[in-house]
Structure 1
């Protein structure tokens, strides 16, 4: 892959003008965060579909690198990935990487419980009576993040690796192994429906997301700056175009999302 990049770094003008050039394969890192990015099944995730729609006309392909989120972030920080997705603003600062200006989604989160539970979120201290299911390496907003990091609260958590972690914690909530799951709403409900378990759950409170966590972007992690700058330009142009021409609606419909 590196020899192709070295060769193509001298050919950006050709690529920009859509003149014939060798195909560039980009290493794209993500975890199982369906429907944004899906590790299993026929669908790859709507962010991957968006990415392919933008890159394919330029003769570029992606090489998926699917692993736990902590490992994906570590690879991005080292520059062994070209792209990482979806990422929020706080994560791009943490990793020291650039991101698109155009977002690929808005994040809303909630506290999920079993439908028979009488618990409701009434401030952070109300979590003390619960067993919380969390995902290793995920960024939770304050004050929840501070509460989870407190050593006194570790015994009240079951922390799962992010590879299949979202599906596992949904199954654990259904079987009462955990009593509360703080999660991104779209991911939770999509996976719960996929597992045919959605009828078991309800939302027990809103998990407020600050601005630096509320939007998802495509992170550009490559250390090759000519490539990084072109990718940022192409991706932002492509995202703007598919939102304007409503191609995004067509992609989202595949996942049962977007306007009806």
Structure 2
């Protein structure tokens, strides 16, 4: 009886997978199992107060906003800037819903955290359409109707004068209050407006009123340094952010980047940098 012969079947060939391919697959599996860490966000709020801060997302957000972006974005943070009324901005930062408020002083908000480095200097000056009128002290306001923005920080003597003689003052409210106040000055409805020289001169240029609105004088006693105010709701984080701001401002100033940024707004550095200045320590 003939034996049955089985057909010959060759053994399957081994597929050799390159080592680099195995490593790539392993890394892909690990990456998919470990989510990427979200970028830390810094929320900045203020009412519009150019040239410090203006319309979010515009080509001219304000030099204070541009400072924040330059400092924090190079450290890996994302900066979200929101324009909100001043009262709400203070509440949002105080409660921790936002991190940074632009253009305040430790005297105004003593519970806030502040960096050591200022963001500018604000002097109280008065402007008018009358080239002959001069501000030489509080008594100068007796002969004019003066506009002011409700909620903005004015010296105590000015607020007391408003309280005692409300008929000589006109309060404006809202996000565009300063621009409307300048328009009232141009229309002759008020005769004087107070404000930081940098702020008023910026709005005068934008309103095409240069040569028509005059600087009538400044109150030297009321000049003050302005700062970024950080939230007291999370002090360790705010102190860390304040340290980053100090270090970042030092770098911007001493590399010339700050002056380059300020030129865009027709400004120059408010602090003269001495030669050989040491930088602030890291927090």
* Residue from 152, 160, 168 that aligns with 1:138: 152
Residue 198 of structure 2 aligns to a residue in which SS?
A: helix
Equivalent in the alignment of 1:44: 61
1:85 paired with 2:95, answer no
CA RMSD of aligned residues (A): 1.9
- Greater C-alpha Rg: 2
2:103–2:229 contact (8 Å) kept in structure 1: yes
TM-score by length of 1: 0.83
Distance 2:231 2:214 in 1: 37
Equivalent in the alignment of 1:129: 143
Distance 1:27 1:222 in 2: 14
Residue 233 of structure 2 aligns to a residue in which SS?
A: coil
1:104 paired with 2:119, answer yes
Equivalent in the alignment of 1:5: none
CA-to-aligned-CA distance 1:139-180 (integer Å, 9 cap, x gap): 1124223212x2x31222211125111111111111111111
Distance 2:262 2:134 in 1: 32
Residue 203 of structure 2 aligns to a residue in which SS?
A: helix
TM-score by length of 2: 0.77
Equivalent in the alignment of 1:62: 79
Distance 1:70 1:156 in 2: 25
1:188 paired with 2:205, answer no
Gaps of 5+ in 1: 1-19
Corresponding pairs, count: 233
Distance 2:90 2:150 in 1: 12
Cα deviation, residue 51, structure 1: 0.4
* Residue from 38, 41, 48 that aligns with 1:22: 38
2:113–2:235 contact (8 Å) kept in structure 1: no
**Structure number having the greater helix percentage:** 1
Equivalent in the alignment of 2:216: 204
Equivalent in the alignment of 1:233: 243
Gaps of 5+ in 2: 1-35, 270-283
Equivalent in the alignment of 1:4: none
Larger mean CA deviation between 36-45 and 228-237 belongs to 36-45
Residue 43 of structure 1 aligns to a residue in which SS?
A: coil
| Over 3 Å off, 4+ runs | none
Equivalent in the alignment of 1:34: 50
CA-to-aligned-CA distance 1:214-254 (integer Å, 9 cap, x gap): 11111111522331121011111111111111110111122
